[in-house]
Amino acid sequence: MEPLERETTSNKSKMINRLKHMISPTSPPWKTETTGDIRNIMLVGAALIATVTFQAGITPPGGVWQESKDGHQAGHAVYSDQRDPFKIFLICNTIALTSSTFLLLCLTYGYPYFLEVLIATISMLGTYSSGIYCIVPHESQSFYLIFVAAPAPIVTRFVIWVVAFAARCLGFLTPNADRIHARTKLPESWYLPHIFALAEMFCPSKPATKRSASWFKRFQYNESRDSPSDARNVLLVVVALIAAVTFQAGVNPPGGVWQEGEHAGRAIYASQKFAFYIFLVSNTLALSSCILLR
């Protein structure tokens, strides 16, 4: 083999490895049993991200206007005056929050009291949405961006699975992407077959074995593998996160409180009765679900 060909093959292999690490959610040793250490590390990371992003959405950087004057509404984010940066903030923050909560649900699926965890998580997201509605000026329409950004992590994962399934159905699936090049006679610079070759990780063409087990099922609760103390620790991490952020949101509501006048100390958000009721119900439901589990 010529040196140039060897270098090209080496570059292709490096690219495939990079794509594997990006697309594959985890890379545990497939031939060994999954321990709780990997799951716990992912839980801590997801819980940390969910905590800070939820708090950033409820209490935005720059604070909120305290009075309604000069064209500004009390309770709206000061940052919203810079429309484009504020939209970027909302999109990035919402994607980070939904990604972390989606991962938390995946890692706790199948555990005892998962229904309570699901209710608490959905209620927390409802609280977040209601809080964003409070701080965003209604005329800017920025609030609707969260409905575009929120499903992005789930849609991305779904698209990856669809591409993997399509690759297998189209006959592109092979362990070696270079054979795809030989079969399709495509230019060497065309790397899409390399992406199709990654489908083997998600849709194995061979009968299901231990090696081809779904990453999702490997982290589900298994009574023969996970002790009751492991399940308790996992649930405690999740409910402690949700309880902390929802309690803080209830004590310090989004939009702040009136500083002067007869309504001093009351939530500014309370002037929008219907939206404020949704916030209260979602926040209380999330907090009470967590207290039940603790």
CB 54 within 8 A of CB 46: no
Q: Which of 86-90, 161-165, 218-222 has the lowest mean pLDDT?
A: 218-222
SS (H, E, C) 212-253: CCCHHHHCCCCCCCCCHHHHHHHHHHHHHHHHHHHHHHHHCC
What does the pLDDT look like over 70-87, one tens digit per residue?
777 888 888 888 888 888
pLDDT of residue 183: 56
What does the pLDDT look like over 122-146, one tens digit per residue?
999 999 999 888 888 876 677 778 8
pLDDT > 90 in the chain, percent = 15
- Pick from 36-50, 86-100, 138-152, 225-239 the range whose average pLDDT is largest: 86-100
What does the pLDDT look like over 84-109, one tens digit per residue?
888 899 999 999 999 999 888 888 88
**pLDDT class of 11 with cuts at 50, 70, 90:** low
Mean per-residue pLDDT, 114-126: 90
- pLDDT over 90 at 189, yes or no: no
**pLDDT class of 150 with cuts at 50, 70, 90:** confident
pLDDT of residue 211: 42
pLDDT of residue 125: 92
pLDDT of residue 26: 43
More confident residue, 193 or 114: 114
- Look up residue 187 and give its amino acid: P
> What is the rounded average pLDDT for all residues in the chain?
74
More confident residue, 9 or 159: 159
User: Integer distance in angstroms from the first to the last C-alpha of the chain?
Assistant: 64
Q: Which residue has the tokens 């991490």?
A: 237
Q: Which of 10-19, 52-61, 78-87, 121-130 has the lowest mean pLDDT?
A: 10-19
